[in-house]
Structure 1
Amino acid sequence: MLRSIVANCGDPVLADRLDQSISGATDIAALTRRARHAVTTESDLDEERTRRRQLADLVSATRGRSLPGGQAGGEAAAGSTRLPMSAGTSLAPDHWFPPARSPWHRRRRRLSRRQGVLGLVIVLVLLGAVWTAPRMWSELRRGWDTVLNPVKTEEQNQIRPVSPPPPEPVGDQPAPAPNTVGTAPAPVEVGAPGSAGPITLVTATPANGECRAGGSCVIRVDVHLDPATSVGAVTWALTVYDRCSGQVRTNGDVSQPVQSGTHQVYGIGRTDLPPGTALAVAAITSAPATAASEPLLVPSENAVC
């Protein structure tokens, strides 16, 4: 195969020399060595020596070292010219060499367990901050608006002014003795349930002592609401019942604004009671739904007609 390759090259001298070199080869190693020796000429060896010498000179010049005398003589014999190094090209002393950096420092070290735990904690804190930021911002805005723009309490709990109670008589008047002679008064029919719609309960209680027939009665009305519903205002009125004659008298309406989410609103009302032995007062709402309180009996016991 080697003879065929050399013959195709068209160099009879190389073919003859290669034929003489490989004729006595017995194995692949000997054949390779003889073939390499046959194709290598003296000029090739001289070129390889020259290249190696030039590479050595280049390395020595780069490191700033002086060349050996033998190499310098060889370069003079070969006719090569070497440029002298300028004294002003480097500020480093002659015996200084640039440090060779260890490849270990170029590697990226693995994070320690402490650094990994610290990084995980930082990530969790950032995620928590992102999760709670909208809620914190809304709460902050609510607090800021509450401080800068407080809602006027007069608009929330508007109570109509009432006249002061009448003065009590100066002289000592004996209380009327309970009359056991007569008929029992009829029950009070208010005509409205105790709860309706967003109204869960309505109560009416005396606000200034016990109410008496023929006098003025100040009553506190409490309206309990469902906080889940939105109610703009609550309207109620005091109704007076004569349990003996069946007469009914209704006072004017009282309206109170309701803030969203409120559980309860209250107001104070005043009504004049007619003379009678068995009266009752109830608070009846008309908005947002119709509901009534338990009747407040006047007197509270031993009433007869």
Structure 2
Amino acid sequence: MLNANRLALLDELARSGTVHAVGGALSYSPSTVSQQLKVLEQEVGVALVERVGRGLVLTREGRALAEHARDILARMEEAESDLARLRGTAAGTIRVAVFQTAALSVLPTALDLLASSHPKLRVVVSHIDPARALPALAAREHDIVLGEEYPGRPVARRAGITLVPLFEDPLVLVVSPGTRHESVGELIFARAWVMEPEGNDARQWAVAACRDLGVEPRVQYESPDLLVQVRLVETGHAIAVVPELLLRRERPRVDRLEFPGRPSRSVFTAHRAAADSSPAVTAVTEAFAQSALSR
């Protein structure tokens, strides 16, 4: 009997290409991934991976089973969703991943709505780096993710994933109260910045946006925590571009300036298409949509 969890590992290896990427997507150590793939090989009686250089690649048989694994896992989820739909109520456990500003603002209201309308539904929430959102969803680490896209940096779409747009969230330049400046360009050039770490979509967008204005931002501080960023702005140590959603929720003591072009990020929910008919997925997605309207 094929094991669904091990099939998911093989499926993710076919998607991401390396054992380390599989481990990162599914929260396993690389050694655990390799061990489970060996067990799967014993179950099917054929080599599924082979070593090339320092990495593992799928054999012909491995690629064939990976294609079946994707279909098998999707059909299993479709069957579970159909049974839940026939039952008629949203119940059981659903795993939701959110990013920071959504966790601070949209999430609490959504949880209140779900608690009152679907008391049998248990929602397990975890924080996720937005860059990992869709890969982790495809790898079945979560059932729903609340994700974001920055201008010009669309997240890579994946087959079998349904995206539901929620709202546009303006990106605002914030400075300490009373900061003097002749122009936004002069301010961007003259002051130290706090941004998210390199490689993050928000950081890459912000640097590119400044360069489009002919200015190279002087990034002196880095933090993935936007609350840390606004505190450095409040105390006069840096300037930053942060989402309006955060400013509405936290109301920091900062002056807000319009960033040229009035950029905004897109916020969306995503789930696997095989769960389109799941009452639990529908309930959570609708709760996020209602919460977004009331933000």
User: What is the TM-score normalised by the length of structure 1?
Assistant: 0.16
- Report which structure shows greater RCO (CA 8 Å, sep ≥6): 2
Bigger Rg, which one: 1
Looking at secondary structure, tell me which structure has more helix per residue: 2
Looking at secondary structure, tell me which structure has more strand per residue: 2
